[in-house]
Structure 1
Amino acid sequence: MPWSPEAESQRNNVTTNLIWAKLSKVPKELWTKKGLSFLASLIGGPLCMDGATSMKRRLDFAKVCVTIPLDFEFPSSIKLKIHGKVVFIDMEYPWKPPSCSRCTPAAGQNSQNVATPSFSDPAGSDVLSMINVAVDNRESPSSARTSKTPSHDL
């Protein structure tokens, strides 16, 4: 929204932000609209994916746009269990919004959204029912530690 006195007066009402996330090491079973939307929902509220991702022109990583709360912690990976096999989806954020203690909600609120999206794409729906999820704030799979977010059966 362009700056205006009205926009300035609404600044303290902002509770979310939009970011792009780059997802690497995505298993081929999740390269569907439903699968990528599911992964995006583990970060925040899924909005869209870039053209190369949606048209599957680039398969080494996916780019998704999500809404996040102002106190988002930017996890570096998602741990999934698919058909009994543990996989890690690496996450990068090309741009992280600056943090402001005046605007950010009080600490202690849960900053990670975990939701199951509902989409009409039937491809991959059987895969999603076989996934356990844990969101980790760690740098690599080799530095495994227990996540603050419990695993979820989907």
Structure 2
Amino acid sequence: MGEGSPSCTPPMGAGLPHAPITQQTNVHQEQQKPSWRSIFDDDLQKKMEILPYLPECRGAKVVKIMEEDTIEEVEYWKHSIVGYLVGKRSYFYHISDFLKRIWKTAGNFKLISLPKGFFMVRFDDENTILQRIHTYQGRPMILKRWDKNVNLEKEILGSVPIWVQLFNLPMHCTGNMSIARVCSQFSKPLYPDEATLARERGGFVKVMVEVDVHDELPEVVNVDIHGIECEVFIEYDWKPQLCRKCNGYNHSEVKCPRLKIRNHPQNGLSNRKGNWFHMHREKV
């Protein structure tokens, strides 16, 4: 190729799109980006579209839930109870295994965990469960009938139900009136267990009693049987050790967590005080 021949190389930029066209193309490509749903097939997309999009809630400072929004859930949970254990919180799966064992005759039920140590149980019929007192490892289980306004706060109880065992009672002193007299010395007697009621145990009697959480519970009660004095020894499945600093259970005032955390709000406790028996009866 000679020096005077025209060059076959096109000038730089010749035949290429101008910069403004490139920008328009990029904008068009941005608008064509697919949504994440489009990567799934149609059947799966239909299964995912369970919840409606409500544009009136978009950006709202306060989202208002309507009464009709809750009808289905209120109907579903209406035969449910909520409960918790007095004292130290236990692992949910331990409580779950225990309740499944003792309530196996109550028919089908669903058990779920709630915040603050509460649990919730849905029954076909909850009335039979609420007709008796339940304990776990000696500690009372507080059960309430569920409704949409139920308060998930643990009450500060003035009294609690516990199991006690009375030893050294002669066989002729194991009837209801004899047991009631001994238990009334330190508590409000409620009822004996099935073995005691059926006279199937000779070594001791077992009784559910209601005790004041502030009382010192005795280990021995002196009794007079037709002029003969003897000692009745008492064993407790669980004692309510109440801390007067925080109204919590299972620790002394010396070991109260509030000594370490000053002015910390009392988590999981309300200011409601009262007798356990009356509160239980009101809820049932």
Using the size of structure 1 for normalisation, the TM-score is 0.59
Among 155, 158, 173, the residue aligned to 1:11: 155
Q: Which has the higher contact order (CA 8 A, sep 6+)?
A: 1
Q: Which residue of 1 aligns with 2:247?
A: 103
Q: Deviations over 1:18-61 (max 9, x none)?
A: 11111000123321111112222223111111111111100110
Number of matched residues? Answer: 102
Q: Which residue of 2 aligns with 1:125?
A: none
Quote the Cα distance in structure 2 between the aligned partners of 1:73 and 1:94.
15
Letter paired with 2:214: D
Shift of 1:6: 1.9
Quote the Cα distance in structure 1 between the aligned partners of 2:155 and 2:233.
32
Among 233, 239, 253, the residue aligned to 1:90: 233
Q: Which residue of 2 aligns with 1:60?
A: 203
Which of structures 1 and 2 has the bigger CA Rg? 2
The answer as to whether partners of 1:43 and 1:66 remain within 8 angstroms in 2 is no
The answer as to whether partners of 2:182 and 2:223 remain within 8 angstroms in 1 is no
Quote the Cα distance in structure 2 between the aligned partners of 1:55 and 1:23.
16
The answer as to whether partners of 2:186 and 2:211 remain within 8 angstroms in 1 is yes
Q: Which residue of 1 aligns with 2:273?
A: none
- The structure with more helix, counted as a fraction of residues: 2
Letter paired with 1:63: K
Unaligned 5+ segments in structure 2 are 1-81, 84-117, 120-149, 249-284
Percent identity, aligned pairs only?
26
Quote the Cα distance in structure 2 between the aligned partners of 1:23 and 1:41.
13
The yes-or-no answer on 1:47 pairing with 2:215 is no
Unaligned 5+ segments in structure 1 are 105-154
The answer as to whether partners of 1:24 and 1:91 remain within 8 angstroms in 2 is yes
Using the size of structure 2 for normalisation, the TM-score is 0.33
Shift of 1:97: 2.4
RMSD: 2.1
Q: Is the deviation greater in 25-34 or in 54-63? A: 25-34
Shift of 1:80: 1.0
